Every structure is written in structure tokens, then in C-alpha cells.
């Protein structure tokens, strides 16, 4: 956290102890449908109850103000037809708009003070409060919570979480959206290393996707790199307890970056870099963001929030609310099933994306690697949308494959490409025409009971997601696949377009979707062949949605044709 943090004074008075007693003893308590991922994920095991004196860090999301006004401002600064297009808000402007009411700030601070919390810090927008407290104090404060220690994940990470739901006192419920650090376990990577396709002879063929293959397919020349003369930058965020190594980046660029100007190292790491082995996903994110967005200053958010009770994704959101100067483009390969998250948590995170959009940030999220997804309740199958991919305030990136895996050809659907319709967010107005057209014209729609046709539809765009080369722990690794690959590639190309816009005196692209849909896929290669995977049952037989002309919920509007996309997006 930065020096901007506002400390909440500590000390305990008899009056506040009395307040706490009234709150804890009160018969009426209320839970705002907290974020409760209580099913133990595969690969995790309980080590028993946490020590009552063990220290936790909990994050309290305070109720914000003026969200309707914020929504209208986002629409105004993101719509090319608006006179306010590109006139983004500063962090201080956003803080002035959404800052919780004095009553909310006073009530929550007194509550925490009475509970014995210490070292509480806020953010510039004052809508998050992060505090230290013991397990004993947290269980008293949040009725029903019961903290256990768990171990799991690829690196045998230790975390402290509550398998039980908590309740907030009735007096506090109007002031707190959710408490973070209780339920959600660290995410796991969905990257896959596929078997190498078999082919007779290799003359004239490529043996996997590298930066030169990306640049050839998307029509970038050696001159399509950052100028090195602007303050333009880009960022990727990683939450997987994985790290990149500078030596891997250097080796990757030595092997694959010889024909274009590039930067040799990451400009800034926010968070902590582990000392262990590099992770393939972390390596992939950095290497392809820096080779697609070549010669542009790059930041990495590396598992910010390293305490056992912190949630790295939530800590990244807090950092966005506490830094005045941020890279214009952020790419994130992270997602959860919508149904695993509470509506209050999803709505609040969506508001954080709205705040970013108001400031002119382009947030790109991977669409996921499970196709349409699938879940079954009472024997009834449905597709399973992913969040944040389903947020209406992010640009979601799907995945494609080459039609011929060994030649730079046209693209088809990568069957893992995540896509579908949100069960939480209604369809935003900017995509009304495109989605209506798809639903009325697609010859291969799944049964209507499998998806919410009126929901926010995703992805918005796509890029190659199959067969990448990555260098990790000094070893070149082939055939790595996932939308974790397509997302930094698309983000890097948007950073190059921002470079041209900045040199021309224009603001960065900001929240891209309203413009993207108004331009109906101009500057993108339309992907019209292939379907993605879904439920393996008799009714749909593993097939989700299929691509077609125009927008579709598998590859969005398509993949980038850089010179055409630059021409489309360079001017206001």
C-alpha cells in the first residue's frame, strides 16, 4: 500500500466496548449474502482449527455512493458519440464520487475499533478498509465464521479460511458489501500443454506459435513496436502463486525476439516475486505481453497480498483504487465460475471495474478454458458462465487455433475458448444489436434452457490460444494452450495502438467495448468456423455455441488484423 493510506486510530474505550457488546449480543443479525466459496476445492486439505491467536488480514468493502452517476459517466467517456468521450476521471475524481458516506465510515471504523482490530488501512477512494485481527477477534466479530488452516495447490500453499458463512450485525449490514479473506481459495491454472500434432515433413511449416508467428498472422511489421519516447505502459496481473524469472524473459527474447525491437526486462514489479521455480503461466503472460506490445514499458502485478489470509485478486483491486498513475492496459488471466460467488461480491467487483473504466483503463480478461462450461442441478444441465469474463465493464478475450496447426493460415475456434451468457448481468446496451443478430441467425443454437439469452454475452474479441512456445526455468516448452495466451497478445496490440494515439495527442483507448461494438468488428478477422465444448450429455453431446459471421459467443468479433485495427482505433 502507498503512503496515501489513511490510518484508523486504535485504542479501546469503555463506550466502544459497550457498542461491541450490543452488536455481538444482538439477537438480530444479518448477512449480506457474503462471498462464500465453502466447498473445498480439489487438492486442498484441512489441517484443523486455526490457532485463536493467529493473526488475520481481513478486507471490508464499504458501501459506496453515486453508483448510478458513475455508470452514466463511464458511458459518456467510453462512447465515441459522446462529447465527453476520452475525458477520463482522475482517481481523485472517482474518490469524490464513490466515497462512502460519513455515517458509513464512522460506523464501520467504530465497529472495528471496538473489536480490537489494529493497523487498519484504507485506500484513496476510502471504500475498502483492510485490518489486522486475531482469529479469536474475527470469530467474535463475524458471527458464524470458524477459521481453519488449509494446505493445497501445486505449491502446497498454506491459507487460513472459514468453511462456514458469516453474519454481519444488523446495524452494520447497510454499510458493508462483503468481508474478504474468509472463503475464497487461491485459483489454479487452466493452461494445458497439448500433444504435438503429427505431420509428415516440416518444410515451410512452423512448429508452434512464437512472436514471429503472431506478428506474421496479425500483420505486424518490424516497425510496429513502441517508440520509447512516450510514458505509455502496460501491465499483467498474476494471482497463481507463480512467478516469472528475468532470465527466462531474456532467453525467450534471445530465441524468439530477434526480428523486432523489444525491452529486455520488466519495468516494475508490484507485489513480491517468489524465489522458487518459475510458473509456465506467469512466464507466458510476461513473454507474450512484452513481445506483442513490443518495446513498451511493462508492469507485473505479482501475487500482491502474500499473507495467508489475503486474497491476491482482491489485493489487486485495492491497488487499482490506491494508485493515481497506472498503465492504460491491464491483462488478467483469471476467473471463477459465476455460481461459486455471491451476488454481493460479484456486483461489488463489477463496480471496481466500472471505476477503472471511468479512469480510462482497458481491462482485458481471459474468457476461460472450459468452452461454455457445464453444471448440473437435480439432473438438469446448464452452461456455466465465468466471472470476471462476464462483467460488462471488461473486454473479454476468447481463443482460436490455426486451421492448419503448422501453417500461418486463417483461424478457427479453439474448442476450449470460454464464452456464453451471464446469469448475473443483463445484456449491456452496447451489444444489444450484435447479440440479437447472433441469436436470430445462428443455425446451431443450443437448447434455450442451457443459457440466459438476455445476459451479458462474451467474449468480445479473440486471438490465437493454441500451441505456444514459452521459456520457463531456462527450458523452452512447446504447445502451451489457453486463453491465458490470447489475452496478453491482444493486450499488447492495444498498447501499440495506444502508443500511436498518445503520439497523436489523443487519450488512451480506455474501456473499449462501446467503440468495439459500434464499429461492428472493423479491423478484426472474423472467425466463422468451429464450436466450443460444453456438457457431455445426450442432449448437446459436448457442443456449446458455434462461431459464425459477425459477433458470436465463442470468438467475439474475431482476431486482430493490426494495420486495419490501428486505422480503426487511432482517431478519436
Q: Find out whether 115 and 24 touch, Cβ atoms under 8 Å.
A: no
Catalytic machinery residues:
281, 285, 484
Give backbone dihedrals phi and psi of 448, rounded to 5 degrees, phi first: -65, -20
The end-to-end CA distance of the chain, in Å, is 35
**Residue 83 bridge partners (DSSP):** none
- Alpha-carbon Rg for the chain in angstroms: 24
552 in a known ligand binding site: yes
Q: Find out whether 520 and 438 touch, Cβ atoms under 8 Å.
A: no
d(C-alpha 309, C-alpha 293), whole Å: 35
159 in a known ligand binding site: no
Residues 6+ apart with CB under 8 A from 487: 331, 332, 333, 364, 365, 366, 397, 463
DSSP state of 350: H
Which triple of cell numbers denotes residue 510?
A: 480506455
Q: Exposed e or buried b for every residue in 290-306, given b needs 16+ CB within 10 A? A: bbbbbbbbbbbbbbbbe
369 in a known ligand binding site: no
Q: Find out whether 284 and 485 touch, Cβ atoms under 8 Å.
A: yes
The DSSP string of 398-453 is EEEEESSTTS---EEE-TT---EEEEEEEPPGGGHHHHHHHHHH-TTPPPGGGS-T
d(C-alpha 249, C-alpha 472), whole Å: 9
d(C-alpha 318, C-alpha 59), whole Å: 9
Helices (H) and strands (E) in the chain, counts: 14, 30
d(C-alpha 285, C-alpha 274), whole Å: 16
Which triple of cell numbers denotes residue 566?
A: 490501428
Give backbone dihedrals phi and psi of 457, rounded to 5 degrees, phi first: -100, 140
Strands (E) in 31-182, as ranges, are 44-49, 55-62, 118-122, 128-134, 148-152, 157-161, 168-169, 176-180
Strands (E) in 243-294, as ranges, are 268-271
246 in a known ligand binding site: no
User: Which residue bears the cell 463475524?
Assistant: 142
Residue of 437, 402, 433 whose CA lies nearest to 527: 402
d(C-alpha 222, C-alpha 298), whole Å: 19
Q: Find out whether 341 and 208 touch, Cβ atoms under 8 Å.
A: no
Q: How many CA atoms lie within 13 Å of 72's alpha carbon, on the beta-carbon side?
A: 5
d(C-alpha 517, C-alpha 462), whole Å: 14
Q: Exposed e or buried b for every residue in 498-514, given b needs 16+ CB within 10 A? A: bbbbbeeeebbbbbbbb
Q: Which residues are annotated as a binding site for Ca(2+)?
A: 526-527, 550, 552
Q: Which residues are annotated as a binding site?
A: 526-527, 550, 552
Amino acid at each position: 500500500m502507498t503512503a496515501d493510506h489513511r490510518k484508523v486510530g486504535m485504542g479501546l474505550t469503555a463506550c466502544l466496548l459497550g457498542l461491541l457488546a450490543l452488536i455481538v449480543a444482538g439477537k438480530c443479525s444479518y448477512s449480506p449474502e457474503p462471498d462464500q466459496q465453502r466447498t473445498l476445492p480439489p487438492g486442498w486439505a484441512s489441517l484443523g482449527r486455526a490457532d485463536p491467536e493467529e493473526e488475520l488480514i481481513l478486507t471490508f468493502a464499504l458501501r459506496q455512493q453515486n453508483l448510478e452517476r458513475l455508470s452514466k459517466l463511464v458511458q459518456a467517456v467510453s462512447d465515441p458519440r459522446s462529447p465527453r468521450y476520452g475525458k477520463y476521471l482522475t482517481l481523485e475524481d472517482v474518490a469524490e464520487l464513490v466515497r462512502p458516506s460519513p455515517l458509513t465510515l464512522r460506523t464501520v471504523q467504530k465497529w472495528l475499533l471496538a473489536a480490537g482490530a489494529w493497523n487498519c488501512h484504507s485506500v484513496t477512494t476510502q471504500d475498502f478498509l483492510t485490518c489486522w485481527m486475531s482469529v479469536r477477534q474475527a470469530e467474535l466479530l463475524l458471527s458464524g465464521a470458524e477459521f481453519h488452516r488449509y494446505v493445497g495447490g501445486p505449491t502446497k500453499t498454506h491459507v487460513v479460511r472459514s468453511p462456514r458463512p458469516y453474519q454481519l450485525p444488523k446495524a452494520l449490514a447497510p454499510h458493508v458489501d462483503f468481508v474478504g479473506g474468509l472463503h475464497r481459495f487461491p485459483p489454479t491454472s487452466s493452461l494445458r500443454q497439448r500433444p504435438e500434432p503429427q505431420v509428415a515433413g516440416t518444410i515451410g511449416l512452423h512448429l508452434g506459435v512464437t512472436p514471429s508467428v503472431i506478428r506474421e498472422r496479425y500483420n505486424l511489421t518490424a516497425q510496429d513496436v513502441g517508440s520509447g519516447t512516450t510514458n505509455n505502459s502496460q501491465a499483467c496481473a498474476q494471482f497463481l502463486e507463480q512467478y516469472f524469472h528475468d532470465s527466462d524473459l531474456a532467453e525467450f527474447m534471445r530465441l524468439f525476439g530477434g526480428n523486432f525491437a523489444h525491452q529486455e526486462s520488466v519495468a516494475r514489479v508490484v507485489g513480491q516475486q517468489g524465489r522458487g521455480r518459475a510458473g509456465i503461466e506467469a512466464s507466458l503472460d510476461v513473454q507474450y505481453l512484452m513481445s506483442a506490445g513490443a518495446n513498451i514499458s511493462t508492469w507485473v502485478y505479482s501475487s500482491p497480498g502474500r499473507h495467508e489470509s489475503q486474497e491476491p485478486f482482491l489485493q489487486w483491486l485495492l491497488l487499482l483504487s490506491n494508485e493515481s498513475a497506472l498503465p492504460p492496459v491491464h491483462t488478467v488471466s483469471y476467473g471463477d465460475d459465476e455460481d461459486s460467488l455471491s451476488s454481493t461480491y460479484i456486483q461489488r467487483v463489477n463496480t471496481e471495474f466500472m471505476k477503472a473504466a471511468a479512469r480510462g483503463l482497458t481491462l482485458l480478461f481471459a474468457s476461460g478454458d472450459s468452452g461454455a462450461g457445464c453444471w448440473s442441478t437435480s439432473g438438469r444441465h446448464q452452461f456455466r458462465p465465468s466471472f470476471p469474463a462476464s462483467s460488462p465493464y471488461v473486454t473479454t478475450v476468447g481463443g482460436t487455433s490455426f486451421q492448419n496447426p503448422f501453417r500461418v493460415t486463417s483461424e478457427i475456434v479453439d474448442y476450449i475458448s470460454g464464452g456464453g451468457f451471464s446469469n448475473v448481468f443483463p445484456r449491456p446496451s452496447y451489444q444489444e444489436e450484435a447479440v440479437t443478430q447472433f441469436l436470430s441467425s445462428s443455425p446451431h443454437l443450443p437448447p434455450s434452457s442451457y443459457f440466459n439469452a438476455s445476459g451479458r454475452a462474451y467474449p468480445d474479441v479473440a486471438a490465437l490460444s493454441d500451441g505456444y512456445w514459452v521459456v520457463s526455468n531456462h527450458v523452452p516448452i512447446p504447445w502451451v494452450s489457453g486463453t491465458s495466451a490470447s489475452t496478453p497478445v491482444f493486450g499488447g496490440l492495444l498498447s501499440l495502438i495506444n502508443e500511436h494515439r498518445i503520439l497523436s495527442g489523443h487519450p488512451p483507448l480506455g474501456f473499449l467495448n462501446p467503440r468495439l461494438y459500434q464499429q461492428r468488428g472493423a479491423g478484426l478477422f472474423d472467425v466463422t468456423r468451429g464450436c466450443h465444448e460444453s456438457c457431455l450429455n445426450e442432449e448437446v453431446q459436448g457442443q456449446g455455441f458455434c462461431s459464425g459471421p459477425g459477433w458470436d459467443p465463442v470468438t467475439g468479433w474475431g482476431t486482430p488484423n493490426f494495420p486495419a485495427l490501428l486505422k480503426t482505433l487511432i482517431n478519436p
